[in-house]
Structure 1
Amino acid sequence: MKLYGLKTCDTCRKALKALRDAGQEVAFVDVRADGISDADLSRFYATFGDDLVNTRSTTWRGLESTERARDPLALLKEHPTLMKRPVVEAGEELTLGWTKAVQEKYL
């Protein structure tokens, strides 16, 4: 299992702790520090579409409207903090966020 997020994100830290406490073996990928491959980013975008872009983030609010209109994959590559998180990869399955439904699935 892999968890993609930010090490400074409270939700990502809670998710990582809960998964490990539940006995899951989790590899953490910090999308800002470690980066994210184009293939993974494309796969995530193919699965979640525009939901992958966090339009409520501080980073999004700081972008000019012309930047917001750019290709979402290019934006996410340039500004990894725009990615909604965490993305949990368990085998072939991907989930986005740390909702009750995601928690019930993995805990």
Structure 2
Amino acid sequence: MILYGLKTCDTCRKALKSLPDAEFVDVRADRVPEAVLRTAHAQFGAALLNTRSTTWRGLAESERAGAPLDLLAAHPALMKRPLIEAGGRLYLGWTAEVRAALGAG
């Protein structure tokens, strides 16, 4: 299981605490592999972008209009977190549904 997120993100920390065997990948330092990012975008669409983040609010309107995958490549912190890869499936966020699917409290 791989958890993609930010080490400073409270939600990612909660997820890691509940999933102690997960490998953590900091998206700022190590990036999300392009294939994983493409699959996540195909599965989650616009939900993959965190449009409530300070990073998003700091972008110019012209930048926000860019292709989502290009935005995520340029600004990894724009990704909604955490993105979890487990058993060949992807999960986005740390909702009750995700926790239940992963068997985490």
Normalised-by-shorter TM-score class: over 0.9
Taking the TM superposition and a 5 Å limit, the aligned residue runs for 1:27-38 are 27-38=23-34
Q: Which amino acid aligns with 2:95?
A: T
The residue matched to 2:19 in structure 1 has which SS? helix
Separation (CA, whole Å) in 2 of partners of 1:81 and 1:13: 15
CA deviation string 1:49-90 (max 9, x = no partner): 110000000000000100000111000000000000001111
Deviation at 1:2, TM superposition (A): 0.6
Of all paired residues, the percent bearing the same amino acid is 61
Separation (CA, whole Å) in 2 of partners of 1:103 and 1:37: 23
Taking the TM superposition and a 5 Å limit, the aligned residue runs for 1:25-104 are 25-104=21-100
Question: Which runs of 5 or more residues in structure 2 are unaligned?
Answer: none
Q: Which amino acid aligns with 1:80?
A: P
CA deviation string 1:9-56 (max 9, x = no partner): 010011001112xxxx21111110111222121111111111000000
Separation (CA, whole Å) in 1 of partners of 2:34 and 2:95: 26
Question: Which runs of 5 or more residues in structure 1 are unaligned?
Answer: none
Q: Number of residues paired by the alignment? A: 103
